[in-house]
Amino acid sequence: MSRSGVRSGFAFALMWFAAAVARADGVEPQRVALGFGWEPGIEFHVEATRTRIRAADEKIVTSSTASRYTIRVGAEGENLRIQFTDPTFEVKPGALSAAPSEQAEIMAKLADLMPDFVVTREGEFAGIHDLPGYQARLRKLLAEIMPPDLDIAVVAQMQSLLTSEAFLNSRASEEWNAIVGAWTGADFEIGVPAVYSRAEPVAIFPESEIRMNYAFSAEREHTCERGGVERGCVDLVMRSEADSEDTQRLIESFLRKITPEKPAAAPMFQTLAIENLLVLTTEPAGMIPHSYKLTKTIRGTVATPDGDHQIEQIDKTEVHYAVP
């Protein structure tokens, strides 16, 4: 990704939608405009809790971690550097009662603190800061914390995934889009959703894409506090779900690709549903975040030699920001 960045398709869709909406009765709608205003020197003290719930038929496995860190904004040439510092972690009770592979996943999450990244002065994501340096530090840390009884091939696979440029850029841009990138520059009519669709990769189906349908909205304006002073805030909501027809196409395409050499006992998806819900509370003047909640849900039916099984994975993230 270039340092100049690529403006989010979300924001373009929102601005287009805002320009297209008109009231037939001539009544001026209640609107809210979102503008990016971060400057060098701004700091956020952040508290985050992440919980994953996996259910397969009657078996449920839950893992949860909490973290605290500081976001510092600095100058990076003509752009801004978003720096993550002073991390502390806590593994929630019961989180390490899972199998060794689950434990390794939890520990990898602890190691995978957000890398520093660069954004433009307009709020566009531009890429990871010092990608080779961060990759080297992360590989070293992952090697130190991986459980010793894990298969060496599994360790190598996890290290390759978690340190890849594509994964790190995707994770960082997703975090940025949640609080700024997908919103800045938009102009909403309160309570009126903007709809948008695009094709996106699906991790569980390698080299495949699925059409995601989005609905963005500003639900309500209210006051909130920052630095002991009341500010104007707005609740922004993003809902997305995988298009049902495209999901069926993806499954059928995947099944057709299975060759005779594929083990007959391999589990195969028969149905799949992907849903996401993001609720962000922010100051529209400047896009200064106060909190957000993100819930990602995957549900499906997997066919195995001993019958069909219902599976579900729910990832919940709750983040709070405080400006000293």
Walk me through the domains of the chain, giving residue ranges and CATH numbers.
9-19+30-322 (2.30.230)
First-to-last C-alpha distance (Å) of the chain: 33
Please give the pLDDT value at position 203.
Answer: 61
Task: State the average pLDDT over residues 81-96.
Answer: 76
Angle between helices 152-162 and 131-145 (to 10 degrees): 150
Separation between Cα atoms, residue 284 and residue 288, nearest integer Å: 7
DSSP E strand boundaries for 123-246: 125-128, 187-189, 194-202, 205-226, 229-242
pLDDT category of residue 42 using cuts at 50, 70 and 90: very high
| Most confident region among 145-149, 181-185, 267-271, 272-276 by mean pLDDT | 181-185
Confidence of residue 257 (pLDDT cuts 50, 70, 90): low
Residue 201 has a CB neighbour count (10 Å cut-off) of 12
pLDDT at 98 over 50: no
pLDDT band at residue 31 under the 50/70/90 scheme:
very high
Instruction: Note the residue count of the chain.
Output: 324
* Mean pLDDT to the nearest integer, 183-200: 91
Long-range contacts of 226-231 (CB under 8 A, 24+ apart): 226/283, 226/288, 226/290, 226/322, 226/323, 227/323, 227/324, 231/283, 231/288
Number of neighbours of residue 253 by Cβ within 10 angstroms: 11
